[in-house]
Structure 1
Amino acid sequence: MSEPTCAPEAVGLCAERLERVDGWMRRYVESGRLAGLSVTVARRGEIAFARAHGLCDLARGRPMARDTILRIYSMTKPLTSVAVMMLYEEGRFQLDDPVTRFLPEFRGMRVLTGGSRRKWENVPAERDITIRDLLTHTSGLTYGFMESTLVDAMYRDEGIDFQTAETSLAEVVAKAASLPLLSQPGAEWNYSIGTDVLGHLVAVVSGQPFDAFLRERIIRPLGMVDTDFHVPAEKLARFASNYAHGEGGRLTLIDDAVEGRYAHPRRVASGGGGLVSTAADYARFCRFILNRGELDGVRLLGRKSVDLMTTNHLRGDLADMGQPRFSESSYAGIGFGLGFSVMLDPAKAQILGTPGEVAWGGAASTAFWIDPAEELFVILLTQLMPSSALPLRRELRVLTYAALVDQAGPTARR
């Protein structure tokens, strides 16, 4: 495992307080609630804390490490959003363009108003879905796993699941377009397959398969050497198994590292949740965002594009847009940009943080946040589903922010 590149005090963090993170990690492993986890804390371009505890594979006794490869699920979404913004910068489209300009299957969408699975009531969509709607999860699309609405049930009935589909990206998108929307485009925030649709959009606009575009234009240029849509045979020994809490809270295997579906190339590259990655790789992506589009001399986006991505695009916060809570977190005081949540008001969110901080997480309890004002990013990696099983993100947020002991910004540097 890579060692930190600086002493915490050199970047305004308290080493003693950061050790609380280590104790917190050990308690989760020793209690059996997590098989293993890793945490990375970086500030001002230096890694101040990088620890791993426990196992990434209980059956084989393999330790969790900084180079352990894990399913990052929805932490894929920011990379897909960067791909969209790269094409936007090339003048291929405007963010308020209707997606029907490139994906005609979304013409004439209907919005569910009631009824049953067999006979649903609906009205016409008042306008087409735009590219920005897809980026901000305000398109009216949804996810089948939500299991809370009639439209969710239709997704399950029709097999609209980009993680398990064995057809093609285009076919799954077309099937989703044949079903009604959950709400009028732009009216509500509903977490959705919108970023998977954007993956297909990237393929159509670029003329290149989505997975190839992501590898060639983002993953390789950023030096993310272990990030991909599957794990090759020579790296399977570093891949983590995925778990859930079973009877009595005991960890139960739900996807084996060696024999699971990530051991082979996938038919559908999910822009919403298909990637695997490591702590070291995702730290490179966080640095790229914190540097406003550039890393180690490689610029993929202009700084103004990153500024736009990390700005709230909603009318108020997520609670104002119909989503008071998601996973284990309250969404009062939290907005959404183009691929990330955006902290608006820590007091309203009732959690430590900074206005302008961006974040997101994955279904297996992974998370990251980037705080430009504090020149800080934090990465949490583990493999436990669902992400609401434990309050990991909120607890780690408090522990890491409590370790900040200097004044933020350039004036603090000496």
Structure 2
Amino acid sequence: MLAPTPDAPESAGMSKAALDRIEAHLKRRYIDAGRFPGTQLVVYRRGKVVHSAVQGFADVERKTPLRDDTIFRIYSMTKPVTSVAFMMLVEEGRVALDEPVHKYIPEWKNLGVFQAGTAPAFLTKPLGRPMQIVDLLRHTSGLTYGFQQRSNVDAAYREKKIGEVEKAGTLDSMIEDLAKIPLEFSPGEAWNYSVSTDVIGYLIGKISGKPFEQFLKERIFDPLGMNDTGFFVPSDKAHRLAACYSADGKGGMKLQEDPTTSSFLSPPSLISGGGGLCSTAADYLCFCRALLNGGELGGVRLIGPKTLALMTTNHLPGGRDLTEMSKSLFSESTYAGVGFGLGFSVTMNPALTLIPGSRGEYAWGGAASTAFWIDPAEELIAIFMTQLLPSSSYPVRRELRTMVYSAITDSNL
């Protein structure tokens, strides 16, 4: 499925030589330099896989080569999947974007905004308005991530292990804990990368009446044939799970999680819609192709094209971009010229990003440096897989965007 035909790049308006140059760059700068264990890059354009390459190791210690079917922790690339699943419920009239979150989580009705103090003795002020469903999807909810380490609210998240890479508790216990912690700001006033999409996963389970993971399997993974995607890796596929590494601060890396003892080898207690999935490049390409095709692939429709258009439009208040709205010390996206939709970053002005691209391109990435973007104008998908925490370690995403776009020889614009 991922093997391009010999003439695929040229027939899809791309240069094979320029695409091959990307692999040489990744090998020289990242793999041979000991910064990444291995890489997988898939580029799809005009209905064809025009580039698919793997190099390096899935497991450096055991010298296990990276392969086409290697399974990766995709962390926050889970968020777009969860967001699409939620919009299925919106399409069915079972929930609306402007409804208050406390309609479904009554214990959140009296949440306040942080003023001062530390847990549990917070001083708060009332919300300017109730948190709405749309605030969760676009990260304007006032929730946060503990790893931002910016405030006393973040510290309370860390104390409760809310939103950690190593998941703790359950979705129910997370919702209960969040009811006791104030918001960073009143909903809609700012953008802050957060556990909001985990809350969306909780709501999917509550509104659909079935476990969140079951909803994803029945409505997205099974219909699209995403057989290697899930919240844990079953024993018969365990040998395909990559090792995960972390940057050592000296230009190298160290083992973060051994694949033979990984927490992803057994079902987690907390099913994280914000960062819990493992997947393959081939599986994620199926998901991306459905989106590029207006929400449908091979006769399987996830959502309608108008719903997808709504999701991939900037929803930040006043049409502002992330530089104007963000309080976040970390994101999986650049800020200038980039807004945020319902589960994706959205390019508003390519000139401000200083990276080649198109208006309306949407994207996201994961904590272990995985990334994807979809460019409807160019009929283009790019998926990058590796396993290195954190994703901010190197500017590889910027480099990949520049080099993939430079390989286009026949632009649609």
Q: Is the 8 A contact 1:323 1:331 kept in 2?
A: no
Report the secondary structure of 2:236's partner residue. helix
Q: In 2, Cα distance between the equivalents of 1:115 and 1:408? A: 55
Q: In 1, Cα distance between the equivalents of 2:145 and 2:328? A: 17
Residues 60-209 of structure 1 aligned to structure 2 (within 5 Å): 60-117=62-119, 119-161=121-163, 163-209=165-211
- Report how far residue 164 of structure 1 moved: 3.3
- Report how far residue 160 of structure 1 moved: 1.5
- Report how far residue 162 of structure 1 moved: 5.8
- Report how far residue 341 of structure 1 moved: 0.2
- Report how far residue 250 of structure 1 moved: 2.9
CA RMSD of aligned residues (A): 1.6
TM score, norm. by length of structure 1: 0.96
- Report how far residue 19 of structure 1 moved: 1.5
Report the secondary structure of 2:40's partner residue. strand
Residue equivalent to 1:267: 269
Q: Quick one: which amino acid aligns to residue 378 of structure 2?
A: E
Residues 296-375 of structure 1 aligned to structure 2 (within 5 Å): 296-314=298-316, 315=318, 316-323=320-327, 326-327=330-331, 330-375=334-379
2:252 maps to 1:250: yes
Residue equivalent to 1:403: 407
Residues 215-234 of structure 1 aligned to structure 2 (within 5 Å): 215-234=217-236
Go from structure 1 to structure 2 and tell me whether the alpha carbon gap of 1:41 and 1:244 turns closer, same or farther (over 3 Å shift).
same
Structure 1 unaligned blocks of 5 or more: 410-414
Identity of aligned residues (%): 50
Q: In 2, Cα distance between the equivalents of 1:119 and 1:281? A: 46
- Report how far residue 348 of structure 1 moved: 1.0
Report the secondary structure of 2:245's partner residue. strand
- Report how far residue 26 of structure 1 moved: 1.2
TM score, norm. by length of structure 2: 0.96
Go from structure 1 to structure 2 and tell me whether the alpha carbon gap of 1:283 and 1:362 turns closer, same or farther (over 3 Å shift).
same
Report the secondary structure of 1:320's partner residue. helix
Q: In 2, Cα distance between the equivalents of 1:37 and 1:254? A: 17
Q: Quick one: which amino acid aligns to residue 353 of structure 1?
A: G
Residue equivalent to 1:12: 13
Q: In 1, Cα distance between the equivalents of 2:217 and 2:164? A: 18
Go from structure 1 to structure 2 and tell me whether the alpha carbon gap of 1:32 and 1:165 turns closer, same or farther (over 3 Å shift).
closer
Q: In 2, Cα distance between the equivalents of 1:183 and 1:331? A: 20
Structure 2 unaligned blocks of 5 or more: none
Residue equivalent to 2:394: 390
Which deviates more from structure 2 when the two are superposed, residues 245-254 or residues 33-42? 245-254
Deviation by residue 1:173-215 (Cα, 9 ceiling, x = unmatched):
2211220000110110000000000000000000101111111
Q: Is the 8 A contact 2:148 2:330 kept in 1?
A: no
2:283 maps to 1:277: no
Which deviates more from structure 2 when the two are superposed, residues 351-360 or residues 100-109? 100-109
Q: In 2, Cα distance between the equivalents of 1:383 and 1:407? A: 32
Deviation by residue 1:42-76 (Cα, 9 ceiling, x = unmatched):
00111000001100101221111221000000000
Report the secondary structure of 2:174's partner residue. helix
Q: In 1, Cα distance between the equivalents of 2:77 and 2:258? A: 20
Q: In 2, Cα distance between the equivalents of 1:327 and 1:188? A: 14
